[in-house]
Amino acid sequence: MLGALLMALCASLCWGVADVIAGVQTRRLSILSVLVVSQPVGLLASALWVAVSGSQHPSSDALIAAFGAGIAGAVGLGALWLAMAIGMFGLASPISATGVLIPLAYGIIRGEPLGTVALIGAVLAIGGLLVAVSAPSTAGSRPAGSAAAASGLAALAAICFGLLFTGIGVAARNSPAWALLAARSGAGVALAASLIVAHAGSRRQAGIPRQSLVALALVGALETGGSALYALAAHSGHLGLAAVAASLYPAVTVIIAALLLGERLSVTQQAGVLAIIAGVAMIGRGV
C-alpha cells in the first residue's frame, strides 16, 4: 500500500498547484471561463488514457458512480475556485479538504482495515491541515465581507470532493482509466448545463487572454493528472488512506501562497504543517 500512498501524495501536489493557478485566474476571469478552458483538457487526457491502456470496460454501476462523482467534482471545483477568488486561499482550501471524512468513513463502514498508527496519523494530518491555515495573514487579504460567502462555498466544495473521492475510489477498483473518463464525462455534462443556463440568462463570457489560456490548460492537465494518480492509488491500495493523503493539497496551496502571494505563515500555521508531515509519516508506517 506504500505505492498507493505515494501516488495519493503526488495527487495532492498536482491539485495544490492547480488550485493556486485556478484561484488566481478566477480573480481575473469568470468562474465559467476558467472551467470551460480547464475541464475539456481533462476529458481529452482521460480519453487518451483509456485508448492507450486498453483497459477492460467496467460494470455499468461503476461507470454510474464515477459519472456522478464527476458532476460533484465539477461543482466542487467551481465552488472552491470561486471561494478562493472572493476570499482567502488559506481559508477556502482547508475547509474543502474536510470532505476527506466522507470516503474515510465509507471505507471503515465497508470493513477496510485501518491500523491504530495509521488512524492516529490520519487524524493528526487532518488536524494539522486545519491548524496550518487557521489564521490567514493580512497580506493580500480579500474584503472581510466576503468571508462568509467564501466559507460557504468551500463547505460546498468539501461535500462535493468527498463524493468525488468516494465515487472514483469505488469505480477505480475495476478500471482507473475508465473511472476517470466517466468522471470527466460527468464533469462535462455539468459544465454544458452551466453554459446553457448562462446563455439563457444572456451572460456573455468575456474574451480570455492568451496567457490565461495557457495557465488554464495547465490547470486542466494538473487537475487531471492528480485525479489519475488518485484513481490508481484507490485501485491498488486503501481507499480511506488514499483519500486522506490526496486531501493534503492545502499544504501545497499554503506554501505557494506564502511564497508568491505574500501570505505569511504564523507560528501556529508552521506547527500545523509539521503536524501534517508527522501525520503522513504515521499513515505510511501504519499501512
Give the model's confidence band at 285: pLDDT under 50 very low, under 70 low, under 90 confident, else very high. Answer: low
| Average pLDDT of span 27-56 | 88
pTM of the model: 0.81
Write the DSSP string, 221-257: HHHHHHHHHHHHHHHHS-HHHHHHHHTTHHHHHHHHH
For residue 171, the enclosing domain spans 2-286
Q: Are 26 and 85 in contact (CB under 8 A)?
A: yes
Average pLDDT rounded to a whole number, residues 243-259:
83
Q: What pLDDT was estimated at residue 157?
A: 93
CA distance 39 to 185: 10
Q: Flag whether pLDDT at 135 surpasses 80.
A: no
Share of the chain above pLDDT 90, in %: 24
Domain count, the chain: 1
